[in-house]
Chains A and B, each alone.
Chain A
Amino acid sequence: MALASDLLEQAKFLSLREVGRGRPRQASLRRAASTAYYAVFHLLAGEAASQASPGSPRGLRERVQRALAHETMKQAANAFQAANLPRHVASVAPTPVPQEIVAIATSFVLLQEARHRADYDLTEQFDRTRVQALVNEAEQVFRLWDRVRDTDDARVFLASLIFWKLWSK
């Protein structure tokens, strides 16, 4: 997961740029917010692809990862953050959903929305307080993920990120 952790490092770097030089540039703050989301996106997408696909042949896992869709991931995360899983998912996920997974799902949804606003909504001003909080949120996801990644709940969560829409058919 070198890409994910490198992105997190970059998000932090950007969030702390222009300290002591008056107001930080919007470009730095917006890229920091956006990068914080992509750090978490690649962390989870990479884990989901590793779980769903073997490492051989070369390139297959990356093709699987490419199939992950932001909107589908958000829908799945929304259900986990509300700890409100449909029966077909709950039947394989022990309940209640662990707090770590709920927190990861909540942060994912929040960071995705912030990413969208940072990249497209110029009516809104970003300040360092907000952006530092978003980067801190992403860092917390990495810490929480380390604690739960080898659990059955985490495996169901990852599978949900890929298959949520297909499962609801």
Chain B
Amino acid sequence: MARAATNRIARLQPGPRIATQGHYGPLEVVQVDLDTRVAKFRATSPEGPIGPETSVPLRMISPLSPEDNQRFWKMLADELMEKLGEEGRLPRFYKGISIATGDDSTGDPAVYVKLFVDSPKGAARDSTVSRWNEFAHLVQDRLLQLRLPRQPYVFLGAA
């Protein structure tokens, strides 16, 4: 229950605007659930979301604009990080995340996830780099498990 509350409180700004089959008018995602791979959305108005929440599989969601796409993926990534934190799988070297969406080098839809890690000024030891990569693989695997039509690329960067 506490998790769901956090999910909402963290999103005081408007959620991504979306379209989904069988629903009309302006819609806004208010919550995502990575376990069930479902998003909840509501109709939106200038005053904020209105009306009842409706659930839809994540893969049925089409963000309306590139900005909405980016916000949708940021929402998914934030939720994933929150979950990994609860599972005790968020390493201490992890410092933050950035998300960018676009097309990759072969023209396929892509999402670029950059994980910022606490790194030394010079070169890091191989064992440290391996631990960074293990975490990056974990994030990549979890994003791939969502089976969304956007290829995730998880890179690392210095915090």
Contacts and interface: CB of A to CB of B under 8 A. Distances in A.
Contacts of B119: 128-129
A16 B140 CA distance: 26
B140 A133 contact: no
A113 B133 contact: no
Nearest to B144: A82
B98 to A, nearest CB: 12
B104 A113 contact: yes
Q: DSSP majority for the A interface?
A: helix
Given A19-B122, A113-B104, A129 B117 contact: yes
B129 interface: yes
Contacts of B129: 132-133, 136
Contact of A132 (B104, B106, B123, B144): B123
A112 B153 CA distance: 11
Q: How large is the interface on B (under 10, 10 to 19, 20 to 34, 35 or more residues)?
A: 20 to 34
Q: DSSP majority for the B interface?
A: mixed
Nearest to B107: A71
Contacts of B117: 129
Q: How large is the interface on A (under 10, 10 to 19, 20 to 34, 35 or more residues)?
A: 20 to 34
Contacts of B124: 128-129, 132
B106 A127 contact: no
Interface of A: 15-16, 19-20, 71, 74, 78, 81-82, 103, 106, 109-110, 112-114, 116-117, 127-130, 132-134, 136-137, 140
17 contacts: A16-B123, A71-B106, A103-B137, A106-B140, A106-B144, A109-B151, A110-B154, A116-B105, A117-B105, A128-B123, A129-B124, A129-B132, A130-B156, A130-B158, A132-B123, A133-B136, A136-B130
